Amino acid sequence: MTSLGLAAQPLPIGATAPELSALDQNGKSVSFSDLYAKGITLVYFYPKADTPGCTAEACSLRDSYATLHDRHGKAIQILGVSRDTPESQKKFQQKYQLPFTLISDQNGNVAKAFGVTLIPIVGLTSRQSFLVEDGKIVWSSLNAQTSGAATEVQKALLALHTSKE
């Protein structure tokens, strides 16, 4: 994977989710495996904080945050990931009152671990989403929605609930 946008191979359903650490919007290290241990985790990648599509996606998840639950009624963990600095992520989080963690992936290691494609020429992460349960990828969207992000994730959660009953 290069900054010129060569296609990566996204992690397939059933693959082990990457166990790595990265800085959040506060500059603190976040262990992905610690979050996975708390329940279903949505890891969503977006190109750039505070741009129209990325704001619509984040606000969709924000507005549905209270209703995004796993099959046990437990709220899912949400990690938003982009190549923005922790400071940019913090401003984005505060401006839109986002109730979830934003990850600064300046070196692209998180995107690389998930196999997220970069946008040609500019080298920003493409809009992709993954649900992780019990340390495994259980759902992915390789062309994730913007304003419909929460609806897309809720449908995936319902399908997971149905398939496990």
% helix / strand / coil in the chain, to the nearest 5? 30, 25, 45
CA end-to-end distance (rounded Å), the chain: 39
* pLDDT, position 46: 96
Residue-level pLDDT at 89: 98
Model pTM score: 0.90
Predicted pLDDT of residue 165: 52
Show Cβ contacts of residue 117 under 8 Å, excluding neighbours closer than 6 positions.
Answer: 1, 5, 7, 8, 10, 125, 126, 128, 142
pLDDT per 10-residue tile (average), the chain, 165 residues: 53 94 97 94 96 94 85 80 97 97 95 90 90 95 85 88 64
Tell me: domain 21-163, CATH 3.40.50.620, correct? no
- Per-residue model confidence (pLDDT) at position 121: 82
> What is the reported pLDDT for 159?
86
54 annotated active-site:
yes
pLDDT of residue 142: 85
Q: Which of 78, 47, 83, 84 is nearest to 61 (CA)?
A: 78
Which of these, 156, 150, 151, 103, lies nearest to 131 by C-alpha position?
A: 156
Q: Which residues of 5-44 are buried (b: 16+ CB within 10 A; e: fewer)?
A: beebebbeeebebbebebbbbeeeebebeebbeebbbbbb
DSSP state letter for 67: G
Residue 56 neighbours by CB distance under 10 Å: 16
Selected catalytic residue, list 11, 54, 79, 153: 54
pLDDT value of position 72:
60
Domain ranges for the chain: 21-163
